[in-house]
Structure 1
Amino acid sequence: MTADQSAPRSAQTVVLGLGRSGLGAARLLNQRGHAVVVLDSGNSAEHQRKANLLRQEGISVLLERPLELSSFEDLQGTPERVIVSPGIRWDHPTLTALRRQGIRTDGEITTAWEASRPVPWIGITGTNGKTTVTHLVAHLLKAAGLDAPMCGNVGHSAAELTLERLQDLPAWMVVELSSYQIESAPALAPQVGIWTTLTPDHLERHGTLENYRAIKRSLLERSRVRILNADDPDLASRAASWDEARWITATDGSQARSQGITPWLWIEAGQVMQAEGAVLDASALAMPGAHNRQNMLMAVAACLELGLSGPCMEAALRAFPGVPHRLELIRELQGIRWVNDSKATNYDAAEVALNAMEGPLVVLAGGESKQGDASGWIEALTKKAAAVVLFGAAQTEFGQMLELAGFPGVVERHGDLSAAVAEAQNLAQQLSCRAVLLSPACASFDQYSDFEARGEHFRTLVQSLQAV
């Protein structure tokens, strides 16, 4: 399968930002024949390096151009289109002004959607769980011999992957989609849409839970096959508003049925079931926690749509290596397990991790805090954690929250993760803990470029620990 790579040279398309998504979009558009200019507000050595690489490919780059209308004034004519990276607010005043002028604005993900036609997408979204489901779907399809790489909000950007495969497009694309990407891509219509969970997140960007929910829902409404998690309270409470969906539940289905939901997949007597009978052994996936059973069922539901058999999927699930930075066992030292859950960037994800672990634990938490309800997280800490070691920008805020909640365990504070890991090792020994869990309940941007960088630093620190 190949894409039409050529398009007549036209008015300029402006790409905002030299980040990963901006670079991928600029290169993809250029390869497909569009006249591209990239604007970025920076002018560091790294900005210069990236700019020079693009210029060698025939792409114009203008540095020291903040996102203001004046930055567009000396371009060669009015831009035909502006491509926006996920990190830029969709309601930014400059973007709003450009739209009033009749200039089309699209998110980076749209460039991949357009260039990958007619490849069907499996679009996966949700507050928590979407990364695990994305990895699971891609793993199952690969094991079945299907050419279905994953991209989007994980691994390659969708534009990078599409550019890489432009001469030989894959059979399917498995795409993790954040709310930032969805709101900027109203044309995106997956063949299969998966919605994992919905809890308050990114409210500093979207304003209200209702806005956040509506963005997520829009993706599923445009999907031909809709897969939804009946075990998520928010999704289940709105089940009646869906005229057609495939619901999964990691229970026997009785609770879902009591809410008026007819499960398409459920677990009964240790088997993943559908109306026609057993599909596979529910214990095939070794990852701990009820939430991972939900993740498994959503992945299985998607792959059943593509024709995979139960035995094929069961064998692949048994071989699944897990997801980096999500309840990832780094090592065991002196009987203590060190677990990397850097992907837990909000209270709900951190609560899920705690509920999946056996206590007593030492928990590492902190970073750049987000809006949200911390009560469930603190309750889980109270049940599972003998000690909490706080680090980064949120340490004072989190310390006050734990004190006000009457957290009975030890609470220590440190400026950075390195000192926090050293403290955690001592506390784990003193308090006879089973494990040390990095589950920050925070974004990473106070000290790291992303949660992956934070998780990799944790991995390095833990692997260098010596027995005490």
Structure 2
Amino acid sequence: MTRSVVVGLGRSGLGAARLLRFRGSEVIVLERSDSEEYRRKSAELQTQGIDVRLGQALEITSFEPWLGEIDQVVISPGIAWTHPTLEALRERGVPLKGEMALAWETLGDHPWIGITGTNGKTTVTHLLHHVLSHAGLEAPMAGNMGFSAAELALGCLEGSSPKPDWVVMEMSSYQIEAATDVAPRIGIWTTLTPDHLERHGSIDAYRAIKRGLLERSELAILNGDDPDISRTRCSWGQNRVNWVSTSHLGEHSASTRLSISSDGWVCEGERRLFAAEALAMPGEHNRQNMLLVTAAALEAGLAADTINSALRCFDGVPHRLESLGMVQGIPVFNDSKATNYDAAAVGLQSVPDPVVLLAGGQTKRGDAQPWLQLLNERSSAVVLFGAGAEELRGLIETTAFPGEVTTHKDLNEAVPHALELARQQKAASLLLSPACASFDQYPDFEARGDHFRELIEARRSN
């Protein structure tokens, strides 16, 4: 029997531990926390024959009882691939991999669509899953969102989930760097802007991780409207590549698979497929997302009429410009998925202005200037919350922003004030688009968005 050590008892770690145990491995889980929540998780896993050790820091001493007897260590995406303890394990010859690699070992005989990018990958993942499912295909989605890759693999292995026709996998840079064997049938690259630089060190390293997934894909589908990705056009050599572009100029480019004509049709070369307004989601970025999805769906064998029909009944993505309806006559939008300046800038561009903006959380490195410019152009007030509130306030003050800027401890305090400002100013939108990670106060952006939705619902019912 093999012996596997799983580091971390979050969603990915839970899935990895259960999958490994089902595959017949002896499994030990190390988790640094010893909270009540993790004790409950531990007790459940213990009943499944999985050994859990709580209160274990990621140090080499935590592994010493089994050093020399470990067949593999599986790490969660939140742990840096270059962590000193992981380097020490490598020096001792211990194989390391991420939870995504386990899913590939289990499901690699099914065709994968791997979706990555700084922004847009969640929307593309949900939309592609919807389009393929609408066509009658089994196309489960998993990865860097609600359902972990290992959980999906376990469900397929034990028979609780149907065998997939396509695996639709959202893949972050953290997951890609720890799963270099993953080679999708189709790879999609949505966007590339500076992000996670505190983890990867440089934009070049970050870009190389993303590109690696696309180079391993049988077909790479690339966003030709993204400046950084588009600059690589001449460097793909013998790789099979499809470019998409919302510009009608793309109609005349031999390297462009899909474009949007000047009169608003999605075109494959000279062939008109369907009207671009088939997808009701606002914003030029969502037209790009639609083209990426359409290219993948065509490659999967779907007819243009089927894709058109599916696009027209797509309800959108939770936490990404999600409409929460009206409060006091003001449209409210949940854009909790906007965890960096670029994504938050897209949010500001996509809703009616003037906007009362809610922003804050755990700040990230990145170029804030386009976001700050849009604040001045489209926002009448900014309500900041969380650990990064003062840092964001300092940035905003450097631009001589004419509107009101306030800081608050958390969303509980910030939301009522934002709603009052929106009412007073007759704002056209109230938008949560944080421009920050959620980890100062929430386990993930979904929890932050759910909390915001609850606060808005409570105000609506008052």
Partner of 1:6: none
Please state if 1:424 is matched with 2:415: no
SS at match of 1:465: helix
Please state if 1:441 is matched with 2:435: yes
Runs of at least 4 residues of structure 1 off by over 6 A?
none
Partner of 1:346: 340
Please state if 1:146 is matched with 2:126: no
Written as runs of structure 1 = structure 2, the 5 A alignment for 1:34-49 is: 34-49=25-40
> Which of the residues 221, 224, 228 maps onto 1:227?
221
Q: Give, in angstroms, the shift of residue 45 of structure 1.
A: 2.2
Q: Conserved in 1, the CA contact under 8 Å of 2:138 and 2:163? A: no
Partner of 2:369: 375
Partner of 1:283: 277
Structure 1 residues 323, 466: closer, same or farther in 2, change over 3 A?
A: closer
> Which of the residues 54, 57, 68 maps onto 2:45?
54
Structure 2 residue identity aligned to 1:113 = W
Q: Give, in angstroms, the shift of residue 316 of structure 1.
A: 0.9
Partner of 1:16: 7
Identity of aligned residues (%): 54
Please state if 1:121 is matched with 2:121: no
Partner of 2:259: 266
**Residue deviations 1:228-267 (CA, integer Å, cap 9, x gap):** 001101011121111331011112135x97xx87311000
> Which of the residues 80, 101, 104 maps onto 1:110?
101
**Residue deviations 1:254-309 (CA, integer Å, cap 9, x gap):** 5x97xx87311000021100125011210000100000000011011100001111
Please state if 1:251 is matched with 2:247: yes
SS at match of 1:460: helix
CA distance in 1, matches of 2:307, 2:332: 29
Q: Give, in angstroms, the shift of residue 464 of structure 1.
A: 1.4
Q: Conserved in 2, the CA contact under 8 Å of 1:334 and 1:467? A: no
Written as runs of structure 1 = structure 2, the 5 A alignment for 1:380-459 is: 380-459=374-453
Q: Conserved in 2, the CA contact under 8 Å of 1:116 and 1:169? A: no
CA distance in 2, matches of 1:467, 1:434: 21
SS at match of 2:182: coil
Q: Conserved in 2, the CA contact under 8 Å of 1:194 and 1:228? A: yes
Between 123-132 and 304-313, report the one with greater CA deviation. Answer: 304-313
Partner of 1:69: 60
SS at match of 1:324: coil
Q: Give, in angstroms, the shift of residue 393 of structure 1.
A: 1.1
Partner of 2:20: 29
Q: What is the aligned residue count? A: 456
5+ residue gaps, structure 2: none
Structure 1 residue identity aligned to 2:343 = A
Q: Conserved in 1, the CA contact under 8 Å of 2:327 and 2:456? A: no
**Residue deviations 1:424-447 (CA, integer Å, cap 9, x gap):** 111112111111000000001111
> Which of the residues 290, 293, 301 maps onto 2:295?
301
CA distance in 1, matches of 2:339, 2:32: 27
Q: Conserved in 1, the CA contact under 8 Å of 2:149 and 2:169? A: yes
Structure 1 residues 385, 76: closer, same or farther in 2, change over 3 A?
A: closer
CA distance in 2, matches of 1:372, 1:93: 25
Structure 2 residue identity aligned to 1:50 = K
Structure 1 residue identity aligned to 2:374 = A
SS at match of 1:74: helix
Q: Give, in angstroms, the shift of residue 39 of structure 1.
A: 1.4
CA distance in 1, matches of 2:51, 2:389: 43
CA distance in 2, matches of 1:467, 1:26: 42
Q: Give, in angstroms, the shift of residue 20 of structure 1.
A: 0.9
Please state if 1:236 is matched with 2:230: yes
Structure 1 residues 76, 443: closer, same or farther in 2, change over 3 A?
A: closer
Q: Conserved in 1, the CA contact under 8 Å of 2:4 and 2:72? A: yes
Please state if 1:366 is matched with 2:357: no
RMSD: 1.5
CA distance in 2, matches of 1:423, 1:65: 42
Q: Give, in angstroms, the shift of residue 467 of structure 1.
A: 8.9
CA distance in 1, matches of 2:270, 2:135: 22
Please state if 1:327 is matched with 2:318: no
Partner of 1:174: 168
SS at match of 1:321: coil
